[in-house]
Structure 1
Amino acid sequence: MRIFLPLLALLFATAAPACAANPDALWQIASAQCLPNSINAGDPKPCALVDRERGFVILKDIVGAAQYLLIPTIRLAGIESRELLKDDAPNYWRYAWEQRGRVGAALGRPLEPSQLGLEVNSAAARSQLQLHIHIDCMRRDVPDLLRAHRRDPLGKWMPFMIEGHRYWVMRLEADALQSKDPFKLAALRSAHAANAMGAQSLLLTGARFDDGAEGFYLINMPVNFDRAEFGSAEVLLDHGCAIAR
Structure 2
Amino acid sequence: MRTTPTYVVLNGGSGSNHDYLLLPSCRISGIECPFITTASAPNYWLEAWNNAQPGQPGHVVYPHIGLGVNSADPTIRMQDQLHIHLAGIHSGIQTQLNNHDSAISNDPTRWRNQIVPVWGLTSTGLPAPRSYRVLHVANLNGNLFRLLLDSVVRPTGTTMAAQMLAVTPRLTGSGGFYVLNSEPGLPVPAGQPGGTGTVDFLLAYG
TM-score bracket relative to the smaller structure: 0.7 to 0.9
Q: Secondary structure at the match of 2:204?
A: coil
Residue by residue over 1:122-171, the C-alpha shift from the partner in whole angstroms, topping out at 9 and shown as x without a partner, is 01120101000000000001010110233332134111112442210001
Q: Distance in 1 between matches of 2:147 and 2:70?
A: 16
Partner of 1:93: 45
Partner of 1:224: 185
Q: For the aligned residues, what is the CA RMSD?
A: 2.5
CA contact (8 A) 2:11 2:21 kept: yes
Q: How does 1:31-180 map to 2 (within 5 A)?
A: 48-52=1-5, 55-66=6-17, 67-101=19-53, 102=56, 105=59, 107=61, 115-124=64-73, 125-151=76-102, 152-156=104-108, 157=111, 158-163=114-119, 164-173=129-138, 176-178=139-141, 180=142
State which structure, 1 or 2, has the greater radius of gyration over its C-alpha atoms: 1
Partner of 1:233: 199
Listed as ranges, the gaps of 5+ residues in structure 2 are: 120-128, 188-192
Q: How many residue pairs end up in the alignment? A: 181
CA contact (8 A) 1:103 1:137 kept: no
Q: Secondary structure at the match of 1:88?
A: coil
TM norm structure 2: 0.78
Q: Which amino acid is the alignment partner of residue 186 of structure 1?
A: L
From the superposition, tell whether residues 129 and 59 of structure 1 become closer, same or farther in structure 2 (CA, over 3 Å). same
Aligned counterpart for 1:207 among listed residues 170, 180, 187: 170
Partner of 2:143: 181
Q: Distance in 2 between matches of 1:162 and 1:57?
A: 31
From the superposition, tell whether residues 97 and 203 of structure 1 become closer, same or farther in structure 2 (CA, over 3 Å). same
CA contact (8 A) 1:122 1:223 kept: no
TM norm structure 1: 0.67
From the superposition, tell whether residues 126 and 105 of structure 1 become closer, same or farther in structure 2 (CA, over 3 Å). closer
**Greater helix share, 1 or 2?**
1
Percent identity among equivalent residues?
29
Q: Distance in 2 between matches of 1:103 and 1:206?
A: 20
Q: Secondary structure at the match of 1:162?
A: strand
CA contact (8 A) 2:66 2:168 kept: yes
**Greater strand share, 1 or 2?**
2
Q: CA deviation at 1:209?
A: 1.9
Segments ≥4 residues shifted beyond 3 Å: 102-107, 192-195, 225-230
Judge which range, 199-208 or 187-196, deviates more: 187-196
From the superposition, tell whether residues 229 and 86 of structure 1 become closer, same or farther in structure 2 (CA, over 3 Å). same
Q: Secondary structure at the match of 1:71?
A: strand
From the superposition, tell whether residues 105 and 177 of structure 1 become closer, same or farther in structure 2 (CA, over 3 Å). closer
From the superposition, tell whether residues 104 and 69 of structure 1 become closer, same or farther in structure 2 (CA, over 3 Å). closer
Q: Distance in 2 between matches of 1:51 and 1:103?
A: 12
Partner of 2:124: none
Q: CA deviation at 1:192?
A: 5.7
